[in-house]
Structure 1
Amino acid sequence: MNVQEVIPKIHWLGHDSFRIEGSKVVYFDPYEIAGAAAPADIICISHEHFDHCSPPDVDKIRKADTVIVTDGASAKKLSGDVRVVRPGDRLNVNGVEIQVLPAYNTHKKFHPKEAGMLAFVVTLDGVRYYHAGDTDFIPEMEGLGVDVAFLPVSGKYVMDADEAVQAARAIRPKVAVPMHYGAIVGSREDAERFRKALEGEVEVVILEKE
């Protein structure tokens, strides 16, 4: 993977929301989408909380043939071509491979494992992107073999920067991108702490919000 070629395709929209532009346009957890946005081919939604499953934001980017991949709780809030999945599922959406993984807290009550909340590994144009969802550092992260990992760093509801460092060391992505800060909880300082701790181990790219 050529990092210089891949990073410009990744757009951080704030919080846990990303858009990846390639042969398909893929969104993760669209929330507080500002202005005109590229229409989505695929939307992956990790769980039903308002800052991840936002029907008004989905409507801003959805086309007639947009496919939404999400859990059962979120699906109840959405319409259109919604594919309900669970951790462990794999599917192919118009040539894009999606592996569904769990996301959960290990020592907090906000995202219990039994709720079936989601993380995703999306393979687009040969690049494997891991969106961890709202999670702590969990065993399922070990040996994922992804190219790009989007990892929460803010603490409180999700893992903090120190736990995210452990996660990055377990995943060993080519690039790690911090998320879940700058809205609701967390700040850029969390992202910077994450980057500094991984210097010389994992390349960390802090994206500017679009």
Structure 2
Amino acid sequence: MRYLVSLILAVMFTVPSSAQYNAPSVASAKSDSHPVAIRWWGQGMVGIESWWDLTVVIDPYNDKIGYEVPELTADLVLVTHEHGDHNNVEAVKGEPVVSRGLNSSGEVHPIWKLLDRFANSSETEWWWRETKADSTKQTSHSVVVRSIPAWHDDTQGKQRGATALFKVEVDGVSILHCGDLGQSKLTDKQMFLIGPVDVMLLPVGGVYTIDGDSAWDIVEQVKPRIVIPIHYKTDKLKIPLEPVDKFVEHMPAGWELNKVSHNTLAVKASPKDAEAKHKLVVLDYKPWQPTGELAELMKEMDTACQESQKVFAPLTANQMSWQPPNGTHTPRWNAEHMMGRQLGFFSQIYSAIEPETFTHIDLNPAQMPPDFKPAHADWDGAEEARQMERANAYVRRFAYLLNGVDLDRPAPGSRWTLRRLLKQMDRHFGEHTANVEQKFQLEGWPAE
């Protein structure tokens, strides 16, 4: 009887088909199907967050320049050069790998490395891409990092020395962080090392770097899809740089200007045959945060997801795949189902709001126990818990899209109101987690 009730609830709690809302659907977790989040925190400080929930922070600043230092956790910190407004690595939590662009002599340190966290491992790996064996370790969610030597001035470093440029490639998106670039023109060798670029993070504030006029000459050389200006004067910055206005005023014809009221941009891999569209995106340094009832409801969902992860994390792969004698679902199905529902509902809303960047992600498993085929039969409980967190992080990462959505009207692309959906997700995590905990008492539950 309990199984029948659970099945009825599961069937009722389904995602409307993508065809119903004319939204594209992706039935896989392939990384380049999903957007990367790029966050600008002011000055040269940038965060990059991937589908696999890997986070890279570049050029974290100190508390002397006017900005409040954000509390960030990362897997990798990159430092383009050793100035205090770019190298505050101690401010980043999570015991990240730290890779510095300059060596002790002030020369650019050659870096061509990969970062990843492999399935069934809680540790990140950071390795050189030197041999074929090294490159074969690369997965669809690996982060590739390469340093490119550059000058902090237009006199080959005679005034301010060197700076590294960092090219970061993840989830099919190539991102170039230009550090404190002072060159008014890139060399042929630099252009070769840079290669194709989707997103260019470019200093435009002058004084210590290129300014808002000469920066466009660099853009013309690199020809990125998207340019995000960084390292310029804001209401918080104490360093006397130029504001972003001159750079915006000199925007060439044919470019699209997008001014964003928060610090995050979602960028998806561009199809190879896509028509070239060039965008200038001016971000604010302040992150979007939910407020009021939305903040409370999202926190409740987040807490329920975290509590559920604690139950699954200690389980072995064998326990996750254990088939109960009463014919109910395996623990693995419950983990996949909770993750798939949360991701499915919110990605459908996001894709309706911003269809050029987001797709509906359908990772929900088959409902009937005999039809269930695990997505990753070798994953242990800790990895399934990390997958749940990846979906939850995806929802939070792009929740700025929910700004202004009425809590009590059907959300875009959905039959659910946000209030009902968030409350249901809270209950959904609790109910399915409780079902799994009951299986621990059944006859035949494996010891490991």
| TM-score, normalization by structure 1 | 0.79
Q: Take 2:69 and 2:146, find their aligned partners in 1: how far apart are those partners?
A: 30
Decide whether aligned partners of structure 1 residues 74 and 35 sit closer, same or farther in structure 2, where only a CA change above 3 A counts.
farther
CA contact (8 A) 1:122 1:128 kept: yes
What do the CA deviations read for 1:159-200 (whole angstroms, capped 9, x no partner)? 11121101111111110111110232121313423xx42341
Superposed structure 1 runs of 4+ greater than 6 Å apart: none
Structure whose CA Rg is larger: 2
Query: Partner of 1:103 in structure 2?
Result: 150
Query: Partner of 1:81 in structure 2?
Result: none
Q: What amino acid sits opposite 1:102 in the alignment?
A: P
Q: Take 1:69 and 1:14, find their aligned partners in 2: how far apart are those partners?
A: 21
Equivalences for residues 1-210 of structure 1 within 5 A: 5-6=35-36, 9-22=37-50, 23=52, 24-32=54-62, 34=68, 37-54=71-88, 58-64=89-95, 66-70=96-100, 71-73=102-104, 86-87=109-110, 89-94=111-116, 95-104=142-151, 105-107=153-155, 109-112=158-161, 115=162, 117-135=163-181, 136=183, 137-139=185-187, 140-141=190-191, 144-182=195-233, 183=237, 184=239, 185-193=241-249, 196-201=250-255, 202-210=278-286
Q: Take 2:70 and 2:207, find their aligned partners in 1: how far apart are those partners?
A: 32
Q: What amino acid sits opposite 1:99 in the alignment?
A: R
CA contact (8 A) 1:29 1:46 kept: yes
Q: Which structure has the highest helix share of the two?
A: 2
Decide whether aligned partners of structure 1 residues 99 and 200 sit closer, same or farther in structure 2, where only a CA change above 3 A counts.
same
Gaps of 5+ in 1: 76-83
Gaps of 5+ in 2: 1-31, 117-141, 256-277, 287-448
Query: Partner of 1:78 in structure 2?
Result: none
1:205 is paired with a residue whose SS is: strand
Between 1:13-22 and 1:141-150, the stretch displaced more is 141-150
Provide the aligned C-alpha RMSD in A. 2.7
Q: Take 2:105 and 2:93, find their aligned partners in 1: how far apart are those partners?
A: 16
Q: Take 1:100 and 1:153, find their aligned partners in 2: how far apart are those partners?
A: 20
CA contact (8 A) 1:179 1:191 kept: no
What do the CA deviations read for 1:40-90 (whole angstroms, capped 9, x no partner)? 111110001111112xxx2232323x1111122499xxxxxxxx9724x31
Decide whether aligned partners of structure 1 residues 177 and 93 sit closer, same or farther in structure 2, where only a CA change above 3 A counts.
same
CA contact (8 A) 2:176 2:199 kept: yes
Q: Take 2:253 and 2:85, find their aligned partners in 1: how far apart are those partners?
A: 31
Between the aligned residues of both structures, percent identity stands at: 29
Q: What amino acid sits opposite 1:120 in the alignment?
A: F
Q: What amino acid sits opposite 1:90 in the alignment?
A: W
2:282 is paired with a residue whose SS is: coil
Q: What amino acid sits opposite 1:69 in the alignment?
A: S
Q: Which structure has the highest strand share of the two?
A: 1
Q: How far has the Cα of 1:122 moved from its partner?
A: 0.6
Q: Take 2:48 and 2:35, find their aligned partners in 1: how far apart are those partners?
A: 12
CA contact (8 A) 1:106 1:138 kept: no
CA contact (8 A) 1:151 1:179 kept: yes
| TM-score, normalization by structure 2 | 0.39
Q: What amino acid sits opposite 2:245 in the alignment?
A: E
Decide whether aligned partners of structure 1 residues 172 and 45 sit closer, same or farther in structure 2, where only a CA change above 3 A counts.
same
Q: How far has the Cα of 1:5 moved from its partner?
A: 4.3
Q: Take 2:200 and 2:70, find their aligned partners in 1: how far apart are those partners?
A: 26
Q: How far has the Cα of 1:126 moved from its partner?
A: 1.7
Decide whether aligned partners of structure 1 residues 179 and 36 sit closer, same or farther in structure 2, where only a CA change above 3 A counts.
closer
Between 1:136-145 and 1:117-126, the stretch displaced more is 136-145
Decide whether aligned partners of structure 1 residues 29 and 100 sit closer, same or farther in structure 2, where only a CA change above 3 A counts.
same
CA contact (8 A) 1:69 1:85 kept: no
Number of residue pairs matched? 188
Decide whether aligned partners of structure 1 residues 204 and 191 sit closer, same or farther in structure 2, where only a CA change above 3 A counts.
same
Q: What amino acid sits opposite 2:252 in the alignment?
A: L
